């Protein structure tokens, strides 16, 4: 007693033509992929925020513990103007490096988008060439009636 697996409602089994069946399957696949884009976007954004919050908390905790340790042991925590200037300059350089990294990432994303656009345009042109070659071979290989 074999049980025939039921096909999902989304599959249409009426067509007997292989290309329309493939086309329907491809369309359905990409429709499902497109539905997941907002979920990926939200997940990546949440992950980035969590990462930033975790690092910020870790650094704040380290500073707090260091401060408590210094206070309990009576250590001097005063800084010279030169140290303050150095800390500010270092912070400025880290912020600048992050800005450069951000610009590089955005440029890479933009370049990838441009590559995809070029690929799509080239695909259209190639399809036109393929159509022309197919027509040529069909005409060349089809016997003519006299």
Q: Residue 144: is its pLDDT beyond 80? A: no
* pLDDT interval class at 8 (50, 70, 90): low
**Average pLDDT of span 30-45:** 94
Whose tokens are 């292989």? That residue is: 18
Q: What is the CA radius of gyration of the chain?
A: 31
The beta-carbon contacts of 80-87 under 8 Å, at least 24 apart in sequence, are none
Q: For the chain, what is the mean pLDDT?
A: 89
Cα 2 off chain centre by: 44
Model pTM greater than 0.85?
no
pLDDT of residue 11: 57
* Helix extents (H) in the chain: 18-72, 81-141
Q: Are residues 10 and 28 in contact, defined by beta-carbon separation less than 8 angstroms? A: yes
pLDDT per position as a tens digit, 58-100 = 999 999 999 999 999 999 999 999 999 999 999 999 999 999 9
The mean pLDDT value for 11-38 works out to 87
Residue 2's pLDDT band, with cuts at 50, 70 and 90, is: very low
Closest CA to 90 of 36, 98, 68: 98
CA angle 107, 127, 119 (to 5 degrees): 5
DSSP secondary structure code for residue 30 in this structure = H
């Amino acid at each position: 007693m074999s049980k025939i697996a039921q096909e999902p409602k989304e599959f249409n089994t009426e067509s007997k033509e292989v290309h329309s069946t493939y086309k329907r399957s491809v369309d359905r696949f990409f429709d499902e992929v497109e539905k997941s884009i907002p979920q990926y976007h939200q997940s990546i954004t949440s992950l980035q925020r969590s990462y930033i919050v975790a690092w910020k908390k870790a650094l704040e905790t380290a500073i707090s513990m260091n401060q408590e340790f210094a206070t309990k042991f009576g250590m001097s925590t005063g800084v010279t103007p030169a140290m303050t200037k150095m800390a500010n300059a270092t912070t400025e350089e880290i912020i600048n490096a992050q800005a450069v990294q951000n610009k590089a990432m955005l440029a890479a994303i933009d370049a990838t988008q441009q590559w995809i656009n070029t690929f799509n345009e080239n695909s259209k042109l190639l399809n036109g060439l393929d159509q022309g070659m197919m027509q040529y071979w069909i005409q060349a290989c089809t016997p003519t009636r006299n």
